[in-house]
Amino acid sequence: MAENYIVKKEEKGTVNISEDVIAFMVGAAVNEVEGVAGLGSPNTSELVEIFGRKNPVKGLKIRFIDEKITIDVLIVVKSSGSITDTALHVQDAVCSEVESVTGMDTVVNVHVTGISFDK
């Protein structure tokens, strides 16, 4: 993913933001959300449908579509909370973080790929 950049054309030139930078911000935001056990791992059919490849980076796909950063994030939630509430908090946290740092509109699609049970 190191060669891929989000490119925004500005009046005085372009701004290039590495997808790795966005991925780092997304990972940090997701880890701060209560109820998230971690980033998820998709199964084979989800890989093709969501990522279009068999080696997704950390359960994330980042694209620049229609002047917006679109992020697909896969998570594993803890069994002690609401799946829907946790996913909504992830959306809010990721959007807030990415928009505040990049100044670009962000769309976040959350895919819950598993549940973590306490031992």
5-116 CATH choice from 3.90.70.10, 3.30.70.1350, 3.40.50.300, 3.40.120.10:
3.30.70.1350
pTM of the model: 0.81
pLDDT digits over 68-79, tens only?
A: 999 999 999 999
Judged against a pLDDT cut of 80, whether residue 1 lies above it is answered with no
3-state secondary structure the chain: CCCCEEEEEECCEEEEEEHHHHHHHHHHHHHCCCCEEEECCCCHHHHHHHHCCCCCECCEEEEEECCEEEEEEEEEEECCCCHHHHHHHHHHHHHHHHHHHHCCCEEEEEEEEEEECCC
Judged against a pLDDT cut of 70, whether residue 31 lies above it is answered with yes
